[in-house]
Structure 1
Amino acid sequence: MTTRPDVIAMNSSDVVRLTDEAAKKVKELLATEDRSGLRLRIAIQPGGCSGLNYQLSLDDRTLSGDTLITFNGFEVAIDQASSSYLRGAEIDYADTSDHQGFTIDNPNIAGSCACGDSSH
C-alpha cells in the first residue's frame, strides 16, 4: 500500500466490522478477479426510496480522503463522506435459501425501505 497524506489508514474496529463470512466472501471475489491491487470499496450514495443506498464494489483506486482499513488479507476503502455514516456498522454475508448477499447492520441509520437496499 502506498502511503498518501490524504488517506487515513485505520484498524478494522475503528469504522466497520466484517464478519468472518463476509471477509471470506470478499476474499473469494478478489481471487476471481484477474487484476492486482483491488480492494473492497464501501460507499453510501444518495438515492433510493429512503434517501441513501449502500454500494459495495471492487476497486483499485485510492481517492483523496479515503479511509483504508486492513482486514485479514485485503483492504477496504471508504470515501470520506461515507465514513461517518458507516462508523460502527457490521457487514455480513449469507448464502441461504432465504437470502444471498451482503447485509449491513448500521447503528447510524434510523430506518430503511421495504426493499432493504436504501436507508435514512
Structure 2
Amino acid sequence: MSDTTLTAAESTQAHGVKLTDAAAIKVKNLLEQEGRDDLRLRVAVQPGGCSGLIYQLYFDERYLEGDETVDFDGVEVIIDNMSVPYLDGASIDFKDTISEQGFTIDNPNAAGSCACGDSFH
C-alpha cells in the first residue's frame, strides 16, 4: 500500500487553493473548541453581495458529489466543483492585528471587489 499523503505543493494542485500556516492553526483551534473530529473547512463561492459573488467559509461534516479536497497538515479544505474555477490560485490566511481580524482570501481571479471586501466579481 502506498502513502497517499500529498506535499503542500502537490496538495494545492488538487483544487488550487492554499491555506497558510496561520489559517491552518486557527482552523485547528476552532475545531478543538468544537470538540469534533469529523468537520472540515468548506470554502465556496455563491451569488450575492454588492459585487456579484461572495465567499463562504464554514465547517461541514458532509462530502458532496464533485467536491475537491486537500489536507493541509491535518486541516481538510473542501471546495465544491462549481467554486473551484473561481478560487483557483486563491490563498486563505488568518489575520489578528489591530486593523484586521479574521480570515482573508487573496484571490487572483477577482477582477474587483466591493468597498467592504466581502464580495467580488
Q: TM-score, normalised by structure 2?
A: 0.87
- Aligned residue in 2 for 1:36: 37
Q: CA shift at 1:34, angstroms?
A: 2.6
Give the 5 Å matches for 1:1-120. Answer: 11-14=11-14, 15-120=16-121
Structure 1: tracts of 5 or more residues without a match: 1-9
Question: Residue deviations 1:38-88, cap 9 Å, x none?
Answer: 000000010000000001001100001000111101211101110111110
Q: Shift of the alpha carbon at 1:35?
A: 2.5
Deviation at 1:12, TM superposition (A): 2.7
Identity of paired residues, percent? 61
Q: Distance in 1 between matches of 2:19 and 2:36?
A: 23
> Please, what TM-score do these two structures have when normalized by structure 1?
0.88
How many residues matched? 111
Contact 1:12/1:70 (<8 A) preserved = no
Give, in angstroms, the shift of residue 19 of structure 1: 1.1
